[in-house]
Amino acid sequence: MYQIELRQAYFPAQTDAEIRETTVGGVLREQAARTPGQTALLEADAAGLLGRSWTYAALLADSERLARALLSRYRPGERICVWAPNAPEWVLLEFAAALAGLTLVTANPAYRPRELKYVVDQSRSVGLFIVKAHRGNPMAEIAAEVARETPALREIVDMEDEDAFFAGARADASLPEVMPGDPVQVQYTSGTTGFPKGAVLHHRGLTNNSRHGFARLQVIPGETVLNAMPMFHTAGCSILTLGSAQFGCRMILARVFDPAAMLDIIEAERAGLLFGVPTMLIGMLEAQAGKARTVSSVRMACSGGSMVPPELVRRVTGTFGCAFETVYGQTETSPLLTQSQVDDSFEDLCNTVGQPMPQTEISIRDPATNQVVSVDAIGEICARAYSLMLEYNDNPEATAATIDEDGWLHTGDLGTMDSRGYVRVTGRVKEMIIRGGENLFPAEIENVLLEHADVLEVAVVGAPDEKWGEIVVCFLRLRPGASLDRASLVAHCRARISPQKTPAHWIEIAEWPLTGSGKIQKFVLRERFERGDFA
């Protein structure tokens, strides 16, 4: 831990770890030069069975070949969207786009047509890379539907069709010079206007942040890392993928998360690092209780994305016999802002999210005055660092509202900082719901529900849940003569938005709690739900 004594809730940047002028493609090249024969990537299919593998030399060769193929169809600086589950081709495309100077736009494979179209349009993507289907979602059909309404989209590519994926590759084609400050990804994150915002991330931020995170996890170079985190999130494609590349790790990429299959892989392949949001870890604990595997290889477990309960830390460390660390951050910060450390006390591990990352300033500020508060006082968690996003894509108003004139990014999260610099998250200024580590946006869900013929008014909130961290609760007033038809409402949501956004509870309400200006007091609804008033 950093030895520091604070009088205000401001933590200055610590310089114990350097900021390197690295790029996503560059870190792969460096590792391939150091350990060309080391296994870099190993595929685990939907059943958890291991398949194809790449050494670092082979991963670089295929990534450079794909980069040349991309440059035969796209110009450096253009955006291409990847809409696919975890697959080796996802990793190849991540490195290849970076080597080609393209910006990769990441999309959730659970998206329905309206969600995909929004991301493709808003990001100005000119190419869409897909698989035919995933978990019942007919992705090829949806992509074709979106393409018909999106003239700027020049092609749809089936990533699992090798000829189409590598089409146009020429061995003699040169790759452009890519700079650390160049944009490399656009990832869509929390919004309050009904749709998410695209955080434009750069090479320097993603590569250094993932390296710093792996260093604090005390990752052993060359060890096996199990990556079941979604690749469309920074945890999957940055922390685990780019961290593994810089530490020369053997990364097993799981196409889908199945708790039993993950345990089987850990036992057979001797995985040393286990990373998952609380919901994933709970599922693995339940599967291990049902059928015990040998999991002694796990050296470190790490979680974040939602509140990590003390009991979960106890169960994970007891079951796996490993150390545990908690992380906190957001997409806009590439993503890690704080992280606990192996020598932290159990109390700090369970009740805080650790100290700030290297080269990262954190302050707690009064939301009303923007002044730094005293230690242990509640305020908004703010960050200033090399890892901050470049901007929200084509949204200068949202960028200015998030990053102030002094360069401080306002996270929208409420928290405290003690005199040692340990941060505690206490709530959110924003209304974003974090379900199973995934950010859900009430306004988006509300807009969909208002399209239902029976719905007059609606308010969506998040409520605490032992398994998911938070669940979606919908309060609604119906049109005169209508009755609450849960099946109809669920079907309406499932046809328009991803399944995880569908409310778990539907509560008809006769009268809203309102502010003096007539706005719905969502915190009152949430408190009443938690109290059991609607049981």
DSSP per-residue codes, 257-325 = --HHHHHHHHHHHT--EEE--HHHHHHHHHHHHHS----TT--EEEE-SS---HHHHHHHHHHH--EEE
- Give the span between the Cα atoms of 183 and 379, in whole angstroms: 31
Q: 358 with 339: CB under 8 angstroms?
A: no
Tokens linked to 2: 């950093």
What do you get for the CA distance between the two ends of the chain, in Å?
45
Q: Give the three-class secondary structure for 28.
A: helix
**pTM recorded for the entire structure:** 0.87
Per DSSP, 235 falls in state I
Structural domains present in the chain: 21-400+407-417 (3.40.50.12780), 433-531 (3.30.300.30)
Mode of pairing for the β-strands spanning 250-254 and 224-227 = parallel
Q: What count of Cα atoms within 13 Å lies in the side-chain half-sphere of residue 320?
A: 30
- Give the span between the Cα atoms of 479 and 486, in whole angstroms: 15
Helices 139-148 and 113-123, interaxial angle, to 10°?
50
Per residue of the chain (535 residues), give pLDDT as tens. Answer: 999 999 999 999 999 999 999 999 999 999 999 999 999 999 999 999 999 999 999 999 999 999 999 999 999 999 999 999 999 999 999 999 999 999 999 999 999 999 999 999 999 999 999 999 999 999 999 999 999 999 999 999 999 999 999 999 999 999 999 999 999 999 998 543 456 899 999 999 999 999 999 999 999 999 999 999 999 999 999 999 999 999 999 999 999 999 999 999 999 999 999 999 888 998 999 999 999 999 999 999 999 866 677 888 999 999 999 999 999 999 999 999 999 999 999 999 988 999 999 999 999 999 889 999 999 998 999 999 999 999 999 999 999 999 999 999 999 988 999 999 999 988 767 677 889 988 787 878 988 998 899 998 899 999 999 899 999 999 999 988 999 999 999 999 999 999 999 999 999 999 888 755 566 888 889 999 999 999 8
Residue with tokens 């200006």: 517
